[in-house]
Amino acid sequence: MRLVHHWTSLAVLLTGGLVAVTGVLLLLKKDVDWLQPPVEAASRTGAAQVRVDALFNAASNAAPQPLSWSEIDRIDVRPVDGIAKVITEDALEYQVDLHTLEVLNIDHRGADIVEKIHDGTFFASWVKYYLMLPSGIALLILWLTGVYLFFLTQFQKWRNKRR
C-alpha cells in the first residue's frame, strides 16, 4: 500500500495542485468581486414577464459593439432578485433589471475561466476525460490508501502498547 500511495501521489502532483487551487477559488467566487461580479440592486424584486430577446437587446445595446446570439453563453434569470445575467462566451456579464430592462452592470467573470481550468477544458476538451478524470481516480486511490495506512499505523501502535 505504501508503494501504491507513493507512486500515485507522484502521478497527481501537478493536476491535484491545480484542482485544489482552483477549487478554493471557486468556493470563494461569491466573496471575491473579480471572480464573480456582485449582483446589483434592481428597481424592484420579484418576477417580471420579459422576453429573452428583450434581455438580449438590452445587453447588446449596452455593449461596446452590438452582440450576436452566437456570442451568448447563457442567460441566468433571477426573478427573486429582479435581475437577469446575460453572459457572453468571452466571460462578460451584463446584469439587466427585469422590470426596466436597464443594464445595471457590465463586468468580467473570472470564475468562468477558473472553472474551465478546474475541469481541464481550458487547455483542450480531451483534457477533461484523459487527464483530469484519471487524476481524480488517482486522488481517490490516494485517499483510500492514506486511510488504510493511517488506521494500520494506529492499529499497530495500539497492539504494541497492549504487549
**22 has pLDDT over 80:** yes
Of 104, 103, 98, the closest CA to residue 58 belongs to: 103
Q: Are 45 and 80 in contact (CB under 8 A)?
A: yes
Please check the confidence at residue 24 and state whether its pLDDT lies above 90.
yes
pTM for the model stands at 0.72
Q: Which pLDDT does position 57 carry in this prediction?
A: 94
Gyration radius of the chain over CA positions: 23
pLDDT, residue 2, reads: 81
Tell me if residue 47 falls in helix, strand or coil: coil
Predicted local distance difference test score (pLDDT) of residue 25 = 94
- pLDDT value of position 103: 95
Q: Inform me whether the pLDDT recorded for 149 exceeds 80.
A: yes
Q: At what angle do helices 133-162 and 2-11 cross, to 10 degrees?
A: 150
Asked if residue 46 has pLDDT above 80, the reply is no
Residue of 112, 121, 105 lying closest to 90 (CA atoms): 112
Cell of 129: 476525460
Q: Count of CB atoms within 10 A of residue 4's CB?
A: 14
φ, ψ (nearest 5 deg) of residue 84: -125, 140
